[in-house]
Amino acid sequence: MDDFLAARMQMALSLGFHIIYACIGMVMPFFMAVSHYKWLRNGNDVYKNITKAWSKGVAIFFATGAVSGTVLSFELGLLWPEFMKHAGPIFGMPFSLEGTAFFIEAIALGFFLYGWDRFNKWFHWFTGVVVGVSGLASGILVVSANAWMNSPAGFDYVNGEYLNIDPIKAMFNDAWALQALHMTIAAFASTGFAVAGVHAAMMVQKKNVNFHLKAFRIAASFGAIAALLQPLSGDLSAKDVAKRQPAKLAAMEAHYHTQASAPLLIGGIPDPENKKVDYALEIPGMLSYLAHGNFSAEVKGLDTIPERDHPPVPVVHYAFQVMVGIGTFLMVLSVMLLIAFRRKQWLSARWFLMLFALATPLGFIAVEAGWTVTEVGRQPWIIQGIMRTADAVTPMPGIAWSFYLFTAVYISLSIVIIFLLHRQIKMVPVQYDVPAGSSQKH
Amino acid sequence: MEYIVITYLWLAIVLYFLLGGADFGVGIIEMFTSTKNISRTRRTMYHAIGPIWEANHMWLIIAIVILFVGFPVIYSQLSVHLHIPLVILLLGIIARGTAFVFRHYDAVRDNMQEIYNSIFVWSSFITPLFLGIIAGSVLSGHIDAKAHDFATAYVFSWLNWFSVAVGLFTVALCGFLASVYLIGEAEDAKDHHRFIHKAKTMNIAAVCCGALVFLAAQVERVPLANWIFGDAVGLSAVILATLSLVLLWTQIGSGRTTLLRILVGFQVTMILLAISYAHFPDFVIIRNGENLSLFTAQAPEKTMQALGSALLIGSVLILPALFYLYYSFQKKKVNGS
Ligand code: HDD
Ligand code: HEM
Ligand code: HEM
């Protein structure tokens, strides 16, 4: 494997690994805060058990999120030193603020995980909320750095030099608001459906139904609200991309030729050689509408962009289809959940629970697909229109080896984590089904 | 503002050495604990670092962020030439953080524990070793910006006697920090004595490794003695460190655990001060070339302003919460929880 490709793959792998833990770290504290609140309010010990069971999972995820994030902050330099040399001072502002958010998160997490029965119970609850709020803040901040790569701002690029740097302007770049919104909603949708799916699977097996149903309701409600908002926010994002990165939009839609009343393609196999798409379902005028709010507007195709600036079309197109497909499916599932809250018998129906159980990984698959759209769609640029990814890569040879190494490490870690979660879930009856009154260990 | 940023960078590095170092050291102590005492030691350790380990490691991230925002040239030079030890450091950080948490949160206690334990212990040794190697390489003058062959550019930049000696010294210091810290966490008189004994051994090890560093500096022609003894600040720092060491030995059995912690922390801080002050503002010493100075390799004015403000605002939010965290978990322990 050539070193440049290896560096890109290693970056993608590390980010793709981290984002899962980041989403969980941002969102689970809110689920816990709800069940914790219910326990504090009505004293039902099932909610206390749910909170504790979740918090153990979260401790595992947090540790993994923290170490994989630490790896990322080094990898930016290890793999893209030339990029960081110039970009660091410009897009660094959100990272320096993020440091504060992480710190507060780590402190609050210490209080929350180790503070059971040690502090005033509302203070303890509050520390859990702080974990969630600072996690969200750090997620939103770091997306700003990525948004800057998509829509650079806050400097003048003159003869290869970066002048008049203004880190505040760079932070409030054009792409940030919508990307952060879409990402935050995605975190809730993916984690919500993943957690709900695990509890649904346990209910299918008729294990601790009371415990799992209560947990399912909390997680699924969050997931459903997010999944209903997701397509709206995605539509805004797509319009934004059409304006700032026409090449990315064209790649998402495999839209090779500039055209008025452009059709929306569903599915299809892009053929980069002949610049056409086979077997796609076409909805006339829809792409013009989605991109510019007008059925007859002209949508720029890849033919308006020099060939050497084209992103890889098939990957971006497939990833976009996967994301939107899953988004639509989760939206349908959310509507069904709302119905189920009225028709209670659905909540114990096998087919209904099976559907949720099968949806467990979908949200995260959509997250990975969405980031593939964003990041691969930006290629060949690392900073859109300013610096090429190939010019940013480290001069050190042999990156392929480090890529293999990190792949092995991340695969092993994933296996261990799945194994640990499996054990946690298996032990739920042993740890939480004790008769009332007997003591519990934490 | 640039002085504020540089101060924060220095503080973040020192605090990471002290807090993160004690944290690593706990694993090193575990390595040298007999099987008879190991499970109680593990329990003591878990109570001691469980709630605070994540916060302790944030200092590393703060230091890195300050580097890449404020001193991007330094960050990217080091990333290129110290790629290999940095990757090993990262693998160590991954292994250690996850093994520590996994072994506690594994719902079933079986022989997986053995695996977590050995990963934890080994990575607690390797991570500070490479941290020290990286720190040594930054000063060793072996980084060669103009090198053409792989070995000179990417291997000998860190694989030299001086860097390795600094690595070993760092490991010993971590063990020393941790054992002094654990004296205050001991559950009973027997443990108390064990940790005192450990602290003494670790201290002797640290002094020996320190001597090794000077020796290696001679071999590799790093003007370490010049930096430290040829400079008023460096010299006073070393004298103060030695005095605090003497005081530490006289007080070690006294049961004044807070005093002991302050002394050991002070001592390590002085050592770091002595080493870093002498060649300030140069941060990276480069072979036959332009050293990277904290003044010339700086980000533009506006970035430094923004970074400095972010750090100041952050401290106002973080420090009270952090002190309360340390304070609460100390207090609760004294109350016998
Ligand atoms: C649960 C996950 C999820 C779901 C269901 C969707 N998305 Fe998404 N999408 C993401 C998760 C995501 C993401 C991983 O969070 C991305 C990557 C970068 C970002 O900010 O959000 C993203 C990026 C992203 C982008 C690129 C933004 C950019 O490059 O700046 C567009 C245009 C859309 N999405 C559009 C949609 C549409 C029209 C959806 C319709 C259903 C949709 N997404 C569902
Ligand atoms: C959009 C992408 C990202 C999001 C949404 C995100 C979000 C988060 C969140 C919520 C956490 C804390 C939760 C946890 O510890 O599990 C976290 C941890 C971390 N992230 Fe990310 N992150 C992203 C990408 C990055 C990148 C690119 C970097 C590095 C440059 C990074 C660096 C870190 C670090 C250092 C930590 C550890 C903090 C700690 O010890 O608590 N993250 N991230
Ligand atoms: C956590 C969610 C993220 C995921 C899953 C993700 C995914 C990816 C992928 C797939 C690539 C490879 C693209 C290619 O080379 O074809 C990539 C590249 C990259 N990403 Fe992201 N990304 C994320 C967030 C971020 C953030 C927040 C930053 C901001 C610092 C960032 C910075 C980079 C850089 C520097 C590269 C390498 C250069 C490039 O290929 O353009 N990413 N990412």
Instruction: Tell me the mean pLDDT in the region A235-239.
Output: 90
Q: With an 8 Å Cβ cutoff, is A82 touching chain B?
A: yes
Instruction: Give yes or no for residue A141 CB within 6 A of ligand 3.
Output: no
Instruction: Give yes or no for residue A19 CB within 6 A of ligand 3.
Output: yes
pLDDT band of A218, cuts 50, 70, 90 = very high
The CA B30 to ligand 2 mean position distance, Å, reads 30
pLDDT digits (tens, 9 = 90+) for A247-261: 999 889 888 889 888
Whether A58 is in a domain gets the answer yes
Predicted local distance difference test score (pLDDT) of residue B232: 80
Percent of all residues in chain A with a pLDDT value above 70, rounded to a whole number: 97
Whether A217 is in a domain gets the answer yes
**A380 prior amide bond cis, ω within 30:** yes
- Which two three-digit tokens encode residue A145? 């750095």
Average pLDDT taken over every residue of chain A: 88
Instruction: Tell me the mean pLDDT in the region A34-49.
Output: 88
Q: Do residues A124 and A111 touch, judged by C-beta distance below 8 A? A: yes
Worst-scoring range by mean pLDDT, A27-31, A237-241, B141-145? B141-145
Q: How many CB pairs under 8 A join A and B?
A: 205
Whether A408 is in a domain gets the answer yes
Q: With an 8 Å Cβ cutoff, is A55 touching chain B?
A: no
Which chain A residue is nearest to residue B48, measuring alpha carbons? Answer: A114
Whether A433 is in a domain gets the answer no
Task: Return the higher-pLDDT residue of B143 and B173.
Answer: B173
pLDDT band of A72, cuts 50, 70, 90 = very high
Q: Do residues A34 and A221 touch, judged by C-beta distance below 8 A? A: no
Instruction: Tell me the mean pLDDT in the region B188-205.
Output: 83
Q: What is the spatial distance between Cα A183 and Cα B249, in angstroms, rounded to a whole number?
A: 55
Ligand at shortest distance from the CA of A27: 2
Beta bridge partners of A163: A156
pLDDT over 60 (residue A442): no
Whether A441 is in a domain gets the answer no
The CA A17 to ligand 3 mean position distance, Å, reads 12
Number of domains observed in the structure of chain A: 1
pLDDT band of A430, cuts 50, 70, 90 = low
Q: Chain A 386-415, CB below 8 Å of chain B: which residues?
A: 394-397, 402, 405, 409, 413
pLDDT digits (tens, 9 = 90+) for A13-23: 999 999 999 99
Instruction: Give yes or no for residue A138 CB within 6 A of ligand 2.
Output: yes
CB contact under 8 A, B107 and A405: no
Whether A440 is in a domain gets the answer no
Which runs of consecutive H residues, i.e. helices, occur in A297-381? 313-342, 350-358, 362-376
pLDDT digits (tens, 9 = 90+) for B255-294: 677 787 888 888 888 888 888 887 777 777 777 767 777 7
Task: Give all domains of chain B, ordered by start, each with its CATH number.
Answer: 2-303 (1.20.1630)
Predicted local distance difference test score (pLDDT) of residue A431: 66
pLDDT over 80 (residue B40): no
The pTM assigned to this predicted structure is 0.91
Instruction: Give yes or no for residue A49 CB within 6 A of ligand 2.
Output: no
Predicted local distance difference test score (pLDDT) of residue B331: 60
pLDDT digits (tens, 9 = 90+) for A97-145: 988 888 888 888 888 888 777 788 888 899 899 999 999 999 999 999 9
pLDDT digits (tens, 9 = 90+) for B207-216: 888 888 888 8
Q: Do residues A371 and A22 touch, judged by C-beta distance below 8 A? A: no
Predicted local distance difference test score (pLDDT) of residue A436: 39
Q: Do residues A298 and A255 touch, judged by C-beta distance below 8 A? A: no
Percent of all residues in chain A with a pLDDT value above 90, rounded to a whole number: 46
Which domain range does residue A358 map to? 3-157+172-426
Instruction: Tell me the mean pLDDT in the region A194-217.
Output: 89
Run of H or E including A298:
strand A298-299
pLDDT over 70 (residue B337): no
- The closest residue, in CA terms, to atom 40 on ligand 2 is A66
Residue A289 makes CB contacts below 8 A (sequence gap 6+) with A295, A297
Q: At what angle do helices A121-150 and A81-114 cross, to 10 degrees?
A: 170
Worst-scoring range by mean pLDDT, A17-21, A216-220, B320-324? B320-324
Whether A163 is in a domain gets the answer no
Whether A188 is in a domain gets the answer yes
Q: Chain A 123-182, CB below 8 Å of chain B: which residues?
A: 165-168
Measured between beta carbons, the chain A residues lying within 8 angstroms of B74 are: none
pLDDT band of A68, cuts 50, 70, 90 = very high
The CA A217 to ligand 3 mean position distance, Å, reads 34
Q: Half-sphere exposure of B283 toward its Cβ, with a 13 Å CA cutoff?
A: 20
Q: In angstroms, what separates the C-alpha of B24 from chain A's closest C-alpha?
A: 15
CB contact under 8 A, A63 and B58: no
Instruction: Tell me the mean pLDDT in the region A70-92.
Output: 91
The CA B8 to ligand 2 mean position distance, Å, reads 22
Instruction: Tell me the mean pLDDT in the region A44-57.
Output: 87
Q: State the SS3 of chain B.
A: CHHHHHHHHHHHHHHHHHHHHHHHHHHHHHHCCCHHHHHHHHHHHHHHHCCCHHHHHHHHHHHHHHHHHHCHHHHHHHHHHCHHHHHHHHHHHHHHHHHHHHHHHCCCCCCHHHHHHHHHHHHHHHHHHHHHHHHHHHHHCCECCCCCCHHHHHHCCCCCHHHHHHHHHHHHHHHHHHHHHHHCCCCCHHHHHHHHHHHHHHHHHHHHHHHHHHHHHHHHCCCHHHHHHCCHHHHHHHHHHHHHHHHHHHHCCCCCHHHHHHHHHHHHHHHHHHHHHHCCCEEECECCCCCEECCCCCCCHHHHHHHHHHHHHHHHHHHHHHHHHHHHHHHHHHCCC
Which of A64, A103, A120, A163 to mutate against chain B (most B CBs within 10 Å)?
Answer: A103
pLDDT digits (tens, 9 = 90+) for B57-73: 888 999 999 998 988 88
